Amino acid sequence: MSTLQISLAIAGGAVLATVVAYNTWTSRKNEPRKPEPEPDAPSGGVDITAQERREPALDGDEGLVASVGNDPLSAELDAALPTPERKPGLDPLIDVIASLGLDGVVSGDAALAALPHTRRAGSKPFAVEGMNERSRHWETPLGGQRYTAFQAGVQLANRTGALNEIEFSEFVMKTQAFADAVNAAPEFPDMLHEVARGRELDQFASDHDAQLSFSLRARHAAWSPGYVQQNAARLGFVPGVIPGRMVLPAPVAGLPPLLGLTYDAQAAMAEDPEQSALRDIALHLDVPQVLRSEQPFARLRLVSQALAEAMDGVVTDQNGHLIRDEAMDAIGSDLEQLYDALESRDLAAGSPQARRLFS
């Protein structure tokens, strides 16, 4: 072999090695970021206590409490959660209510047997409550109790719209059937008046509804689902009940979460999720569902900033435009006016009435 051939072979080998090295570097650079092993976790994977906790259900499951005072937020994993105050479901402010008079007393078991199979009239929640003979409080009928009166109600409006004439008629039919079964005499309010009330309430709700959503976008390397979960868990988030969802639980068990975090559900359900590449996630705040005293927007800002810093991302709106501090301040100011308007109508954000109306 000539010297020229040897030189060309050496040069070709060097070029090939350079190409292989570059491709390897590029592949590693473009790999989604993986979660880091926690100090107490086995080196083979991530074991985060917060990640094992699930989104609390409405039956009183425990959740986590996130602290706003620290930056980043810290999860108080061992905090004891108080139980929410039990209040009657029906409220004249947001419900049509029909009274059902009784000549005697009806058992809770008889009332339960007489309830309709579905608790909706069209798209509106329908409910029956009884006056407990012993406690003298309205409550959902319970077996083993006795009731001296009943009332039935249907919600005037929710996020599907206002109560209409067809839904009111279905409410009357369901109530009449229950009344016949327990030998009660129902008294119904005027349909046209109640439907008009529903339209007015729906208009107010439409004008004062707010559901905020920020996007967190990767600057450079993409993220794996585990990397997102790990960083969110450090701020108090726990896995939700559906793939690709995490929540920051309320400090009272059974209440709606303070914030939500979502990412591609397909990536979460992939055979090997850690090979999935996420370039953006979304943070959500359903304003009417969360108490004003929890300062949910302040939490949203802190969480967004903390995640952006930890994950090398930027906070944008849904169109990809950066959200600067001045815009955040303006949103916060608008929300304060919204809170005032809701409170002036006795529909304070996070109250049972607001949670039902804005659902």
Question: From residue 287, how far is each of 49, 72, 232, 346 by CA, in Å?
Answer: 28, 22, 21, 15
Query: Distance between CA 274 and CA 293 in Å, rounded?
Result: 38
- The whole-number pLDDT of residue 188 equals 98
Q: Report the DSSP beta bridge partners of residue 129.
A: 151
- The whole-number pLDDT of residue 81 equals 46
Closest-CA residue to 171 (of 209, 207, 216, 126): 126
Half-sphere exposure of 266 (CA within 13 A, CB side): 2
Q: Give the residue ranges of DSSP H helices in the chain.
A: 3-30, 49-52, 108-114, 165-182, 191-207, 225-233, 265-268, 296-311, 325-344, 352-357
Question: From residue 5, how far is each of 8, 16, 116 by CA, in Å?
Answer: 5, 16, 91
What global pTM score does this model have?
0.79
Query: Distance between CA 228 and CA 187 in Å, rounded?
Result: 55
**Residue pLDDT tens, the chain, 359 long:** 566 555 555 555 555 544 444 444 444 555 776 677 766 544 433 443 444 455 555 433 333 333 333 344 443 333 444 544 555 589 999 999 999 999 999 999 999 999 999 999 999 999 999 999 999 999 999 999 999 999 999 999 999 999 999 999 999 999 999 999 999 999 999 999 999 999 999 999 999 999 999 999 999 999 999 999 999 999 999 999 999 999 999 999 889 999 999 999 998 888 887 888 999 999 999 999 999 999 999 999 999 999 999 999 999 998 899 999 999 999 999 999 999 999 999 999 999 999 999 99
CA gyration radius for the chain? Answer: 28
- The whole-number pLDDT of residue 332 equals 97
Domain architecture of the chain: domains with CATH: 49-83+209-357 (3.30.1400.10), 95-206 (3.30.1400.10)
Query: Distance between CA 107 and CA 210 in Å, rounded?
Result: 43
